Amino acid sequence: MAAANAYYSLAELAERFGLQARGIARIHGVATLSRAGQGELAFLANPLYRKELAGSSAAAVILREEDAALAPCPVLVARDPYVAFARIAALFEPATESTRGIHASAVIDPSAQIADTASIGPLCQIGPHVRIESGAVLGPGCIVGAGCTVGEGSVLVARVTLVTSVCLGKRVRIHPGAVLGADGFGLAMEAGQWIKVPQLGGVVVGDDCEIGANTCIDRGALDDTRLGEDVRIDNLVQIGHNVQIGAHTAVAGCAAIAGSARIGRYCLIGGGVGIVGHLSICDKVILTARSLVTHSIDQPGQYSSGVPLQESRRWRRNAARFRQLDELARRVLKDARNNNNDKDPSSS
């Protein structure tokens, strides 16, 4: 694991991040409980890993008060060890080297406005009327099409494509292969042929958003597709035209949100979740992995769909019965009615 040259005492870290230090250690890097060695700080947040604590060779561990007694080494006690770890690990991140200015191999339209403090990497292509604001960094191979804006301090890691009419806020981070501003999937059938419905809107991405590798966010058909501030999108996610996602919502890998869906603030959309178009999901909704949402949700809470994994031999028998579930239910309810002792649960 990469580590800078800096050393920090446990006491310094405790003071800096509002934690409580017990014991003395000098820290020069971070690692997992099972791998950490001399001078390395580990953390215990997920209870799954509690069993690794006693045997850890870490110089110190960040953990909750209730786990402190189990640690074989000095500790930093934190209310939220994962947050504390994130803060401290950032001290040891190697600085990324980006050179101010425009690489000689980049191809820049003369009408583009590029801030002096921005960095445009090798083999980038910047189209007409683009604006790249101060401190923005474009890694190698990025394409920024006509009329796009990359806000202050935003980073396109490498090979990002902003097709057209994309406006990124400040400190947005986009990973390789992501495509923002491609045409939405707008089709109308006429006389047995598809007609392409013109896609004329843009994509607006709020401050502090992060967008994963090979994720697609289509431009709006008429209005814009919009992400609020601090929205976090993982890899290979599809976001259709005119979708709106509220601030601080996180979307895990391979999720797909169809056109014109509106997602609230502080939602957690699990991996592989599907959301059909033209519906609304209110704030603070959690969708577990691979759920499919076909109706609007207007109550915060956690929602799921799907059936559990089984050995294929047993699963096949159960799955076959699903085809007769309505018929079976009718029999059960008829028996119940005949026994005169109950009512249809579907009416409850």
Q: Are 39 and 27 in contact (CB under 8 A)?
A: yes
Give residues 291-330 in contact with a copy of itself (rule: CB under 8 A): 291-295, 301-329
**Given the complex with a copy of itself, which of 26 and 278 has the nearer CB atom?**
278
E-strand stretches of 40-151: 40-43, 60-63, 75-77, 101-102, 107-108, 113-114, 119-120, 125-126, 131-132, 137-138, 143-144, 149-150
Strands 193-196 and 187-190: antiparallel
Stretch that binds a copy of itself, among 6-14, 18-26, 52-60, 200-208 (CB under 8 A): 200-208
C-alpha span between 211 and 173 (Å, rounded) = 6
Instruction: Determine which residue in the list 48, 110, 116, 340 makes contact with a copy of itself, applying CB under 8 A.
Output: 48
Q: Is 95 an interacting residue with respect to a copy of itself (CB under 8 A)?
A: no
Q: How many residues bind a copy of itself (CB under 8 A)?
A: 139
C-alpha span between 311 and 322 (Å, rounded) = 17
User: Tokens at residue 76, please?
Assistant: 């930093």
Give residues 217-276 in contact with a copy of itself (rule: CB under 8 A): 218, 222-223, 230, 232, 234-236, 238, 240, 248, 250, 252-254, 256, 258, 266, 271-272, 274, 276
Residue 241 annotated to the active site: yes
The catalytically annotated residue of 103, 175, 241, 278 is: 241
**Given the complex with a copy of itself, which of 69 and 269 has the nearer CB atom?**
269
Q: What angle do CA 240, 242, 247 make, to 5 degrees?
A: 95
Give residues 178-197 in contact with a copy of itself (rule: CB under 8 A): 179, 182-183, 185-190, 192-197
Name the H helices within 39-113: 81-89
Give residues 131-170 in contact with a copy of itself (rule: CB under 8 A): 139-141, 143, 145-146, 157-159, 161, 163, 165
List the catalytic residues.
Answer: 241
